């Protein structure tokens, strides 16, 4: 029998975008928009993506890394307040192994010249999975892509 364990951590990221709040919020909420920036590894192959962004809705994203490992993300939206915040719970899996379960809150505030976004993820890594900072790094890369997308930069990802 394998050893069961839990390792809890919290990730907090604050970002400031030179884009109006509805544009930043909708980049999360509209499937065609989110697909433009959500991937943190451009060379990975998209296998499946679904988004039903509403309280009680869900999201599914499956990609294959260059070495063939399937990375699966399954989320459920617990609370959505248009242009203010949303809260969601999600699992991350590598192939068929659940590596983490998280609760995330994303909040938005207008500010002069743009939007402030605060992301807080309470994550529990499971059964000895050693993250070594890769969750934070991948999330930061995703938010760099979000910046490029919402600010309309020519270097827009995907």
The pLDDT tens digits for 133-154 are: 888 998 999 999 999 999 985 4
Selection from 19, 24, 153 nearest residue 86 by Cα: 24
pLDDT confidence tier of residue 155, bands split at 50, 70 and 90: very low
Rounded CA gap, 111 and 17, in Å? 9
Fold designation for 6-150: Alpha-D-Glucose-1,6-Bisphosphate; Chain A, domain 4 (3.30.530)
Mind listing the pLDDT tens digit for each residue in 84-119? 999 999 999 999 899 999 999 999 999 999 999 999
Q: Where are the domains of the chain?
A: 6-150
pLDDT of 2 reads 63
* Cα 25 to chain centroid, rounded: 13
Mind listing the pLDDT tens digit for each residue in 11-68? 999 999 999 999 999 999 999 999 889 866 667 788 899 999 999 999 999 989 888 8
Rounded CA gap, 59 and 102, in Å? 14
């Amino acid at each position: 029998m394998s050893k069961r364990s839990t390792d809890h951590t919290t990730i907090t990221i604050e970002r400031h975008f030179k884009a109006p709040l509805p544009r930043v919020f909708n980049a999360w909420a509209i499937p065609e928009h989110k697909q433009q920036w959500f991937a943190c590894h451009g060379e990975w192959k998209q296998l499946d993506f679904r988004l039903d962004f509403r309280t009680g809705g869900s999201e599914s994203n499956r990609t294959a890394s260059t070495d063939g490992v399937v990375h699966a993300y399954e989320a459920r939206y617990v609370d959505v307040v248009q242009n203010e915040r949303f809260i969601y719970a999600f699992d991350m899996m590598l192939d068929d192994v659940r590596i983490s379960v998280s609760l995330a809150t994303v909040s938005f505030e207008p500010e002069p010249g743009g939007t402030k976004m605060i992301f807080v993820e309470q994550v529990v890594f499971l059964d000895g999975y050693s993250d070594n900072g890769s969750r934070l790094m991948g999330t930061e890369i995703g938010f760099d892509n979000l910046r490029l997308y919402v600010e309309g930069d020519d270097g827009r990802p995907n």
